[in-house]
Amino acid sequence: MTGPGIWFRRYRGAVAPRVRLVCFPHAGGNARLFHGWAPRLPADVELLAVRYPGRQERMDEPCVETMDEMAGRVSEALDPERDLPLVLFGHSMGAAVAYEVAVRLEGPAAEGPGPALLLLSGRSAPHRGRSTALHRAADDVLVAGVTRLGTLGGDAYAVPELRELLLPVLRADYRLIETYDRQTPPVLRAPVVAYLGDRDPGVTRPGIEAWSELTEGEFMVRSFPGDHFYLAPREAELTADIAQRLARLPVAGHAQRVL
């Protein structure tokens, strides 16, 4: 498979969807993180899960190791999908990628409307994040840094065959996010909802709340019980919250209240 479509795993709700929800996985993650979301969302929501290169169906492709390339390529792949309102959800590294995609979709050179809403999870705003350099660390240090965040997928690194397969992807993703530098990030027009686990060791509440400085629209924070990967055990509650916001999303124009 080639072309823009390789970037997304598409879950269809209705024959004629009203809105598209585009979901961005975390570092080392893949589109399967969102496989259970589609049946939990309104029937008129089409779910697109982003498939980063270097894993699953794209295992033969090199990983993308810079934010500029990743956000640019996803933005281009979304061009054919902009006939409907887009809502972007990103978790951890995926939140930063979703934000950068939104910057490009709102840019002066972009054709069509920008995202109707951003849902950013488990990641401090780019101008408030803490600097790390795990992508340059030894394998054991890198894995330990990831597993301290929570349990999602951590057991896979204990299996030698899986560890050998997953580590290059994880390291490439960490290189992307740890070399991402936005000291003066652009302010978006789209409203933002920021999500976090209340026991996340990787982000702080002030770091999450700093997303409010990067939107001209409404802003809200919502927390759930759990660690950095709260969204797996709290999938039902999280998707219910998102479903309510999508149900209030206007079909034409984005000026009405959506939070």
H or E element in which residue 93 lies: helix 93-105
Q: DSSP secondary-structure letter at 251?
A: S
Structure tokens given for 5: 């479509």
Mean pLDDT of the chain: 91
CA dist 108 and 249 (Å) reads 24
Which residue type is seen at 142?
Answer: L
Q: Which of 92, 121, 131, 212 is catalytic?
A: 92
**In this predicted model, what pLDDT tens digit does every residue of 92-111 receive, in sequence order?**
999 999 999 999 999 887 77
Which of 96, 119, 90 has the alpha carbon at shortest distance from 177? Answer: 96
Give the mean model confidence (pLDDT) for residues 145-172.
85
The three-point CA angle 144-92-239 to 5° equals 120
Query: Could you tell me the pLDDT band of residue 220, with boundaries at 50, 70 and 90?
Result: very high
92 is catalytic: yes
**Statement: residue 1 has pLDDT above 70:** no
Which pLDDT score is estimated for 32? 93
What is residue 169's three-state secondary structure?
Answer: helix
Residue 111, pLDDT score? 74
CB 186 within 8 A of CB 101: no
User: pTM surpassing 0.85?
Assistant: yes
Q: If pLDDT is split at 50, 70 and 90, which confidence band does 4 have? A: low
